[in-house]
Structures are given as structure tokens and as C-alpha cells.
Structure 1
């Protein structure tokens, strides 16, 4: 009986593997594309910007600290493959006010053209036992890690829909897949990104806009160093069961997944999602026909 079940699972996985290319997006070319990276002044965000620049992209780095932005810009510029590439720096808190975020994204598009790819990498972390974490930190986590991705995404989505193209990446965390000891403030804010991304993907797929979520493991970044200062013993021991990755390694994988493989968030739900996508597309077509009819009248 177990052999039959195992054979069925293997056959099902192989079937999904064969079907997935049919619904995956075409590879996205970074050469000449405008890529906006929030949280781009350090860590994974800066490494993603560098990787995109190596492939010929134009980069807008978004972060709060102007000094770090200037230093990051110099590092990214060293990765240029032609003399036409540009790195633009914008200092803004992406979690504080949507109006400000919308304004700076508009400025970036006026200078470097429409945003082809948005990488939501701005985030922060805190570790501590539930009853020992200050209540305002729970609010701060949601503002930075969740709204800090909602605002930039909202600022670029209309233009992407008009152009019928775009890529959006949300950088979550492995703690956004599994709740862990010491992350009662951090994990929920990262879990929220998955719900946002999956729902948004279903809305945007008919417009040829694809969304992906990255779940980096512990990575050697300034934020990770800061987080280690407050980790409870249990959290630290759990963390030490896996190796710490380098941001350059993580960035290469994330960029490749975003521009090439993307596809679906949950392979097991493939057939359901295909059906749901069909419903969404039919509704979109009906609305467009209705608008066209209204204009004729």
C-alpha cells in the first residue's frame, strides 16, 4: 500500500513538473530594465541591486540613510557592464507615508523610465520572548515589513498594468514560512507578505505581471548582526542548526528565480490556481468589453 501511495506522489509531482512551464512567464531580460530596490543600501537589497546591475539594469536604490545610500551606489556602479547604466538614490522611509513613497517612485520613473521590476527588500527584525517585547515593536514590525512593501508596490502597479508587464519580488524570511521561538513580532509580519503576494499574483497575472516571494535563510547582513544582540538562547540555538549564507549567494538565486523560473507559490495547489486564474481572466475580459461598449455609446 505504501509503495502505491509513493508511486502516486511521484507521478503527481512529475506531472506538475511537466505542466509548470506551460503557465510560467517568459524569461525577463534585465538588460536596459529599470529595477527599483527598497532597502537597497545594505545587505540582501544591495546585493540584489549589484546582481541586476551586472546584467545591464538601471537601478533605483531606496532607503532611509543617505550616507549608506551613497556608499551603496559606489559599490553597485562597480558592477556596470556598459557606460549607459545609471544608479539613482532616493532617501525615504517606505513605511511611513504612502504619499511620499508614491512621489519618489514618480521621480524615479521620470528619470529612468517606468519601473520594470520592483524588489521589496526593506525590512527589520527583532527577536525576543512574546511577553518581553515592547508592544510598540509589534506595530513597528508590521509597518516596516508589511506596509513597507505594500506602499512601493501600490506606487508601481498602475503603470505596470497599463504596460502589461512587470515583475515584483517580496523578500520575506524563513521565519515567514515557519513560526519560531522568539519571533512572535517578526514572523507574523513576514507571513503577511505571502498572503499579499499570492493574492496580488492572482489579480495581476492577466496583465502579464508576475509576483514572487523570496524566503532567505539567516544571511550575513548588518540586520542579522543587530538581531543577534537580542536573540533568546532558544532562538540562537535554532538558528545555529543551519549555516549562515552570504548576501551575494542569496541575491543570485533570488534574481534568477524572479526573471526566469517564477511560476507558482504552492505547486500542490497548481490545478486549483489554474482554475482560479481562468475565472479572473474571464472577469477581466468582460469588464474590458463593457468599457469598450460604454465608449461606443
Structure 2
């Protein structure tokens, strides 16, 4: 090869690569405008606040000086969370209250939101965290199981948004942080009821992000991975053996760590929040669709790696299903 050939090859391959590397570094290092400079004094509504991720978000917000209202169906569990949060809160900074309500009941949600706003003022930030997963193979799930998944995970979220959004629109300010799951980007055996409901929440978030773009209300979506929560423990009762095998090497995140990442990403104005999970971050590179990307240049660099990783992981999933023969204990499932 002549010198000219080497120059041409460099221009064709090396120069674009160098451009994207430099662009990725520039985007990563460029100072970001803070969406929420501080949570102090903000009124934050958290559904599913009695345990797991919702509880962790509420605790950290109270510690940051926010006024937090937590919602759940269990008044007993909510009261315990409120008592614990008040004991650890700094006097004069951050308050917490609760409303026992079923998010599937829109009328009750309207009443709960009105009561919350009468105590702490208009809601500045909404975290619809409430969710439930019933895991089993499709034919071991009833149609009612699928309906319940949609009622809790999708319509519970939708009812909350309908109850809170009008005031945000009127004030021309506010943030909604939808909580989905890695199961809103991909799915596999065991999540036939849960995953579609989370895909639905993702579709709602993508739609509202565009619809509210110039309203002063910002929309965000978080994709937590496996978390050490009571809900995850409940899933294990009926989860197919193949599903457990697929997830055996997944990182188990603590809800407190996930909450910290979500609150930081919200301050930085990120739309897609991957919650510190590498696998879900790669899924985001491959499956963000038309949604805003935090670092488009880095995504371009990682896309080929993601394609290869996806092929390897998918092959592993197929192998686990091929090897699987055991059935979950449906007696335990009926008791959940």
C-alpha cells in the first residue's frame, strides 16, 4: 500500500472515531445546568412510599429539606415510615406526611392530592413509584393477573398523573419522574404480566415528555434493575426457575443507592435514568428510540458493543430456557 492509501484509511476510519471520542468527552465534561438546584422546601409526592425504592426516595428528600407526602394503601406501614423519617430529620428542615390511598381509585387519588397540597402547598415533584410484579409463565397466569398488573403499574401511575398534572400546568412548573424497570426495555420468561405494564408506563412518559416540552413541566423516566426490596422477595415465590437462572448473575442494588442516583440525575435534568446499572445502561444505548440521549456521541461509540453484548446475552437466555424443566409452586403463587 502507498502512503496515500494509509491516509485515506485513516480519514475513513480513525478520524470519525477520534471525533466521536472527543465529542463524548466534551459532552460528559461540559457543565450541566441544574434543573433543581436544591430540594429544600420543595413539595414532593411519592406513591408506593411505604417500602422499597419509594421509602428510600422519601427518606433522602426529607434529609435534603423537602416536604414529602408519601402514599400507599397501608396506613400502618406509612405511619412507621413517617415516624422513622421524622426521627432522623434535621429539626426545621424537611417534613413528611402520609395519605393512605389506592392509586387505582382516581377519585380517592384526587382527594389525597388535594389533602397533600392543603398541607404543603402545590406539588413540585411527582414520583409515581407504586408497582407490583407477579412472575410466572404465561399459561400459569390468569387474565385477571394481567389486568391487575395494568391496573396497579399503569393505571395507578396514570391516575396519579391526572390528579397532579393540572396544577403543575397551571403553575407552569414541576417535574414528573416515572419509575419503570429494566423490564420496560427488554423482557424474558416470567414477566409476561409485569413487563407489558412497564412498557406502557414508558410509552406514557415518552408521550408526555414531548407534549409538555414547552409547558414548564419536565418529564423523566427511571429504569431500576434488581433491588433488595420486599417486592423483589415476593417475586421469588412464583418466579420460574429459568427466570431465576437468567437473573442469577445480575447485580442486586440497594434501594438507597438507586434513590441517590435518581435524585442526582433529576437535578441534572436527565430524561433517561439508568440507576447505576451497567446492563440497563447498554440497553439504553440500544433502545432509547427517539427519546433524548444524555451523550449521543458515547452512544454511537457503544452501539456496536451493545449489539454484540445483546447477542451474547440473548443466547444465554435461550440456553437457560432450553435447559429449564421445573415449574413454579403455584400454591405459593395463589397465596401472594
TM-score range (shorter-chain normalised) is 0.7 to 0.9
Match of 2:112 in 1: 104
- Residue of structure 1 aligned with 2:16, choices 4, 8, 16: 8
* 8 Å contact from structure 2 (residues 63, 93) kept in 1: no
Aligned counterparts of 2:206 and 2:92: Cα–Cα separation in 1: 38
C-alpha separation between the residues in 1 aligned to 2:130 and 2:185? 18
Greater Rg by CA: 2
Matches within 5 A, 1:222-241: 222-241=230-249
Q: How has the CA–CA distance of structure 1 residues 246 and 263 changed in structure 2, closer, same or farther, with 3 Å as cutoff?
A: closer
Contact 1:25 1:263 in 2 (8 A): no
Change in 2 beyond 3 A, CA 1:122/1:2: farther
Where does residue 41 of structure 2 map in the other structure? 32
Is 1:64 paired with 2:111? Answer: no
How many residue pairs match? The answer is 271
Aligned to 2:6: none
2:89 pairs with one of 63, 67, 80:
80
Query: In structure 1, how many angstroms separate the alpha carbons of the residues matched to 2:12 and 2:124?
Result: 47
| CA shift for structure 1 position 82 | 3.3
TM (normalized to structure 1)? Answer: 0.83
Question: Which of the residues 172, 176, 191 maps onto 1:183?
Answer: 191
Match of 1:216 among 213, 216, 224: 224
Deviation at 1:3, TM superposition (A): 9.0
Partner of 2:137: 129
Q: Using the alignment, how far apart are the partners of 1:85 and 1:245 within structure 2?
A: 26
Unpaired stretches in structure 2, ≥5 consecutive residues: 1-8, 274-283, 294-336
Deviating more after overlay: 189-198 vs 75-84: 75-84
In structure 1, distance between residues paired with 2:123 and 2:97 = 13
RMSD over equivalenced CA pairs, Å: 2.6
**Residue aligned with 2:98, SS:** strand
- The corresponding residue for 1:117 is 125
For structure 1, list consecutive stretches of 5 or more residues without a partner in the other structure: 273-297
**Residue 48 (str. 1) matches residue 19 (str. 2):** no
Match in the other structure for 1:151: 159
Worse overlay, 114-123 or 261-270: 261-270
Specify the alignment match of 2:205 in structure 1.
Answer: 197
Q: 1:82 to 1:126 in 2, by over 3 A?
A: same
CA distance in 2, matches of 1:12, 1:149: 38
Q: Name the SS of the counterpart of 1:47 in structure 2.
A: helix
In the other structure, the counterpart of 2:148 is 140
Q: Is the 8 A contact 2:47 2:54 kept in 1?
A: yes
**3-state SS of the aligned residue for 2:118?**
helix
Deviations 1:255-290 (A, max 9, x none): 111122314687774789xxxxxxxxxxxxxxxxxx
